Amino acid sequence: MPQASALLNVMIAAARKAARPMSRDFGEVENLQVSRKGPSDFVTSADLKAEKTLFEELSKARPGYCFVMEERGVVEGTDKTNRWIVDPLDGTTNFLHGIPHFAISIALEREGVLVAGVIYNPIRDELFWAERGQGAYLNDRRLRVAGRTDMRDALFACGTPFHGKGDHKKALGEIERVIAKTAGVRRFGSASLDLAYVAAGRFDGYWERDLGIWDISAGAVLVREAGGTVNELDGGDFMQTGAVVAANQTLIASLTQTVRGG
């Protein structure tokens, strides 16, 4: 097993602790699928419970760090140079429907630079983790992005906007262009896991718009540490715009150009 740093051990321990009740709740959600009321209240509760655990564990281990969390928003701390970026349940709609593809995502940003990321899918017990300059791992295995160089052989992932959010016509146009040039496109419903899968070489690349920084941050560290590239789709800063594209260093330009319609 590769040796994780003290920082990563803090992040991993927090993710595992938050995941235990989440896994139990997921079992209940599967049972609730057939009920008339449905599991939505249960999912909101699971989300908030996980965020509370993550906030408490990370605060205890690193007092004073700032937070940005999907549910609580910005929580200012005394240490302005360090900021936790947390998504307690990325893939809520999958969770809601009893689909075992969701994750806890934790990143640390230090002086404006993403320095560490942990993404944990408790149902598959897949723990993706990375620290700047130290490589990326899945459990105890070192990760590298896929080595394909031809778009025709490559499999890509994407996200599409939720109802009432984003530009659906634009998103469908992007998918159509990528499908026409590649081995296929998948839409799995968890941005953090899409990026983790790029780092693991399962997907050759990924793009999506209208994301929160909690969706992107940990995955960006993973992809970069696995030898890949993460950019903003239109050339800006993805931490500002939420529009991200990731792939290996050979495919990134072709994927970006195809998505943009160039």
| pLDDT, tens only, 20-54 | 999 998 988 877 765 555 666 667 888 999 999 99
Model pTM? 0.95
Phi-psi region of 130 (alpha: psi -120 to 50; beta: other; left: phi over 0): beta
Of 103, 87, 259, 68, the closest CA to residue 189 belongs to 103
Taking only the tens place, the pLDDT of each residue in 67-102 is: 999 888 999 999 999 999 999 999 998 998 889 999
3-state SS record for 69-112: ECCCEEECCCEEEEEEEEEEEECHHHHHCCCCCCEEEEEEEECC
State the virtual CA torsion across 191, 197, 199, 203 in degrees, nearest 10. Answer: -110
pLDDT average, residue stretch 53-60 = 98
Taking only the tens place, the pLDDT of each residue in 140-171 is: 999 999 999 999 999 999 999 887 788 899 99
CB atoms within 10 A of CB 169: 8
pLDDT average, residue stretch 228-245 = 97
Confidence of residue 3 (pLDDT cuts 50, 70, 90): confident
> 6-142: which CATH architecture?
2-Layer Sandwich (3.30)
Of 201, 200, 207, the closest CA to residue 179 belongs to 207
Inform me whether the pLDDT recorded for 1 exceeds 60. Answer: no
Q: Can you tell me the distance from the alpha carbon of 201 to that of 226, in angstroms, rounded to the nearest whole number? A: 9
- Amino acid identity of residue 261, one-letter, is G
- Give me the pLDDT at residue 27, please: 87
pLDDT average, residue stretch 238-244 = 97
215 labelled ligand-binding: yes
Phi first, then psi: what are they for 78, rounded to 5°? -80, -25
Measured N-to-C along each axis, helices 40-61 and 6-32 cross at an angle, to the nearest 10 degrees, of: 170
237 labelled ligand-binding: no
Taking only the tens place, the pLDDT of each residue in 125-141 is: 999 999 999 999 999 99
The domain spans of the chain are: 6-142, 151-260
Q: According to CATH, what is the number of the domain 151-260?
A: 3.40.190.80
In DSSP notation, 155-215 reads EEEE--PPTTSS-HHHHHHHHHHHHHHSSEEE--S-HHHHHHHHHTTSSSEEEESS--HHH
Of 103, 102, 106, the closest CA to residue 116 belongs to 106
Q: Are 51 and 13 in contact (CB under 8 A)?
A: no
Q: What is the mean pLDDT of the chain?
A: 94
89 labelled ligand-binding: yes
The distance from CA 52 to its chain's CA centroid, rounded to whole angstroms, is: 19
